[in-house]
Amino acid sequence: MPYLQDPFKTIWLNHFNDGEEPVLFSFVEKLAFVKHKKLPVYFNIGKTNTKGIDYKLSSKILDDYKNKIFIIYDVQKAEVESLHDNNKLSYYKIQQYPGYICGLSNHKNLNDYMLKELSRKSRYKFNSYKRKLESSYNISYKMYIDDITPELYDVLFIKFKTLLKKRFFDKKTINNNLNPDEWSFYKEVSFSMMKNRQAGIFVVYNGEIPIAITLLNFCNNTMFDVIRTFDIAFAKYRLGTVSIMAQIEWCINNNIKFLDFSKGYFEYKERWANKPYWFEYHIYYDRNSFTSKALARFFKIFFEFKLFLRKKHLTNLIHEIKFILNKKKYAG
């Protein structure tokens, strides 16, 4: 995973941990942690800014875990068998977000994927939108990876932010990626990751004007959707759907086996994906420490409550209220 490596690690620490060094612990391989400012609580580097974490527990656990708890966000896969054989650490697993993957390895092209994974009605509608868009405008598609200049990168990111703000202002809700700290992080880290072929920017152009932009990450044969948006002036052509069609086609042509839409429910993810899954939060704690057990229990209940709010669609209401209270900021 690129989120366990540089440049992601170093840039994330500079933005969200004041550049301080992370801490390693013996119970888990490769993962590094940062400490809560006041509590004996440690979080994995990246926290909720990754698009998924895989990890493996160590077979040798020293005493460095004592009186602490460890929270690992956005786990896609973990090997935890060795934990069952010790009496030092216990853990909770809490489902937190649905995830969605397009498995592409058994499909020879976009049409084949749509034929096998979408209804006849959806295929007709989506192909019709694509034809109408391409016949009405000078549409082209471009994936940038390590072939982008700093000047073009800056231009695209300015347009990216403008389109994203415009779309969510129209939806009358907030997007956490537009928070200044978050946006600054993604802008810096993505350019460095692109030079290592760990990230890319997919652009739909009308002539020379970007009208849809998607920020992507890469790991082996998987492409991760990080942030996507489009110009709402083209909404009647279902530009977001056309962009996904072009990205699936690009993936198949470039031997990418999985397009991972990552965490969070959106209707388009459910429609296009053929491999749903769950992101989990994992909490490890010292089973012999009252403080550790109490804190772990608190965070477990807190995350379960957040999941309850999502399932009842109450988080959407919260985001809409935040938008109303900060409307001027999102309009700027």
Q: What is the CATH number of domain 105-256?
A: 3.40.630
What local confidence, expressed as pLDDT, does residue 311 receive? 84
What confidence tens digit (pLDDT) does each residue in 75-121 have?
987 776 656 556 789 999 999 999 999 999 999 999 999 999 999 99
Query: What's the predicted TM-score (pTM) here?
Result: 0.92
In this prediction, residue 141 has a pLDDT band, given cuts at 50, 70 and 90, of very high
pLDDT in tens, 209-241: 999 999 999 998 999 999 999 999 999 999 999
Using alpha carbons, select from 240, 249, 246, 248 the residue that is nearest to residue 268.
240
- Mean pLDDT to the nearest integer, 190-219: 97
The share of the chain scoring above pLDDT 90, in percent, equals 77
Report the chain's terminal Cα–Cα distance, integer Å: 36
The whole-number pLDDT of residue 143 equals: 98
Pick 262 or 328 by higher pLDDT: 262
d(CA 77, CA 54): 5
Report domain extents, the chain: 2-97+280-331, 105-256
Rounded alpha-carbon distances, angstroms, from residue 137 to 219, 230, 231, 274, 286? 34, 15, 14, 31, 61
